[in-house]
């Protein structure tokens, strides 16, 4: 989830040691700021329980964070969006950590139409199942945006201010969740 200090049309001048320019594919925008990454435990019918929350500069790829931080966790099934399924990484995780990543099926360029039509129903069912399990994470991000207004950091003017904004808004949101 992006934490935006300014739009991509401008040059970012706040907290340059923590922020840089990135692209949010969900919103279709370039921006300067941070990304919030969340690894959570699934709770059926509820928001996920956060296990780890990380902040990275906006340009850091989500798969890079996954590879560096979470791919070494053992005996786990991860659910992510399409970008998280990297076949070599998934095979390595299954072999060494007994973990796997499930993500919606990406269309393969150059696949024959006959094969596409033959496997489309199975791929669609699998993708829908993964998306339903993953959807509460998106709800968690939406809840953080609504509850804490964490995404809008445009009034922040220093590195310390950005850290206070990000961690303070997160803490405030989770305190309201507990109370």
- pLDDT tens-digit profile of 153-163? 999 999 999 99
Strand 20-24 versus strand 49-57 pairing type: unpaired
Owning domain of residue 76? 2-178
Give the CB-side neighbour count of residue 45, counting CA atoms within 13 A.
0
For the residues 118-126, what does the mean pLDDT come to? Answer: 90
Say how far apart CA 68 and CA 88 lie, in whole Å.
15
Structural domains in the chain (count): 1
Band the pLDDT of 178: cuts 50, 70, 90.
confident
Cβ atoms 148, 170 nearer than 8 A? yes
Residue 13 has pLDDT above 80, yes or no: yes
CA distances from 61 to 1, 15, 35, 85 (A): 12, 19, 10, 13
Which pTM value belongs to this model?
A: 0.87
Question: Is pLDDT of 107 > 90?
Answer: no
pLDDT over threshold 80, residue 15 = yes
Q: Return mean pLDDT, the chain.
A: 91
pLDDT attached to residue 67: 93
The token duo for 169 is: 């808004």
pLDDT of residue 81: 87
Percent of the chain with pLDDT over 90: 74
Burial of 166 (0-12, 13-18, 19+ CB in 10 A): buried
Half-sphere exposure of 51 (CA within 13 A, CB side): 11
Q: Map tokens 């199975």 to a residue.
A: 122
pLDDT digits (tens, 9 = 90+) for 71-98: 999 999 999 988 888 889 999 999 999 9
CA–CA dist 137, 40 (Å, integer): 8
Virtual torsion, Cα 76, 140, 156, 32, nearest 10 deg: 60
CA separation for the pair 94, 118 (Å, rounded): 28
β-strand 29-41 against 20-24: which pairing, if any? antiparallel
pLDDT at 179 over 80: no
- Residues near 164 by beta carbon (within 8 Å), at least 6 away in sequence: none
Counting DSSP H helices and E strands in the chain, the numbers are 4, 6
């Amino acid at each position: 989830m992006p934490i935006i200090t300014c739009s991509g049309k401008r040059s970012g001048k706040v907290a340059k040691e923590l922020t840089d320019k990135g692209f949010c594919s969900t919103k279709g925008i370039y921006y300067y700021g941070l990304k919030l990454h969340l690894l959570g435990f699934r709770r059926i019918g509820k928001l996920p329980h956060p296990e780890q929350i990380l902040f990275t500069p906006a340009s850091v790829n989500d798969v890079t964070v996954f590879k560096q931080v979470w791919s070494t966790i053992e005996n786990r099934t991860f659910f992510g969006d399409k970008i998280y399924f990297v076949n070599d990484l998934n095979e390595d995780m299954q072999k060494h950590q007994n973990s796997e990543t499930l993500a919606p099926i990406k269309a393969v360029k150059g696949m024959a139409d006959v094969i596409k039509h033959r496997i489309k129903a199975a791929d669609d069912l699998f993708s829908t199942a993964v998306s339903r399990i993953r959807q509460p994470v998106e709800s968690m991000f939406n809840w953080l945006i609504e509850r804490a207004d964490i995404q809008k950091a445009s009034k922040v003017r220093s590195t310390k201010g950005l850290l206070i904004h990000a961690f303070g808004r997160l803490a405030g949101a989770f305190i309201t969740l507990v109370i």
